[in-house]
Amino acid sequence: MRGGRRTGSPAAPPFPFLMTQNDNHIPQHVAVIMDGNGRWAREQGEERLYGHRHGVDAVREVVRTAAETGVRYLTVYAFSTENWGRPEAEVDGIMTLIAGAILSELETLTGAGIRMRFIGDLASLPEVLQESIHTAEATVIPDDKLRMTLNVALNYSARWELTDAMRRIGLRMKAGELTPEEITEELISEHLTTRGIPDPELLIRTSGELRLSNFLLWQLSYTELYFTDTLWPEFGREAFLEALREYGRRERRFGRL
Is residue 35 within the footprint of Mg ion (CB under 5 A)? yes
Size of the site for ligand IPE (CB under 6 A): 19
CA distance 219 to 237: 25
Is residue 39 within the footprint of ligand IPE (CB under 6 A)? yes
The residues, any chain, with a CB within 8 Å of residue 25's CB and separated by 6 or more, are 18, 19, 244, 247, 248
Q: Is 20 left (phi over 0), alpha (psi -120 to 50) or beta?
A: beta
Q: Residue 25 or 48: which CB sits closer to ligand IPE?
A: 48
- We find the least distance from the C-beta atom of residue 214 to ligand IPE, in angstroms, to be 8
The dihedrals phi and psi of 208, each to the nearest 5 degrees, come to 80, 0
Whether 57 is catalytic is no
Residue type, 8: G
Among 26, 31, 38, 63, binds ligand IPE (CB under 6 A): 38
Q: Residue 53 or 172: which CB sits closer to ligand IPE?
A: 53
Contact region for Mg ion (CB under 5 A) — 28-36, 53-61, 218-226, 246-254?
Answer: 28-36
Q: Residue 98 or 241: which CB sits closer to Mg ion?
A: 98
Residue 213's binding partner among Mg ion, ligand IPE, none (Cβ under 5 to 8 angstroms by kind) is ligand IPE
Is residue 118 within the footprint of ligand IPE (CB under 6 A)? no
SS3 label, residue 31: strand
Nearest partner of 94 among 103, 105, 83, judged by Cα: 83
Burial of residue 125 (number of CB atoms within 10 Å: 0-12, 13-18, 19+): buried
Q: Looking at 23, 83, 144, 214, which residue is catalytic?
A: 83
CA distance 23 to 26: 8
Nearest partner of 102 among 30, 58, 152, judged by Cα: 152
Residue 145's binding partner among ligand IPE, Mg ion, none (Cβ under 5 to 8 angstroms by kind) is none
Q: Are strands 148-156 and 73-80 parallel, antiparallel or unpaired?
A: parallel
Q: Residue 77 or 118: which CB sits closer to Mg ion?
A: 77
Whether 83 is catalytic is yes
The helix or strand, by DSSP H or E, that contains position 149, with its residue range, turns out to be strand 148-156
Is residue 119 within the footprint of ligand IPE (CB under 6 A)? no
CB-CB contact of 204 with 226 (8 Å): yes
Is residue 207 within the footprint of ligand IPE (CB under 6 A)? yes
Residues 5-34 that bind ligand IPE (CB under 6 A): 33-34
What positions carry a catalytic annotation?
35, 83
Interface residues toward ligand IPE, by CB under 6 A: 33-39, 77-80, 82-83, 94, 207, 209, 211, 213, 232
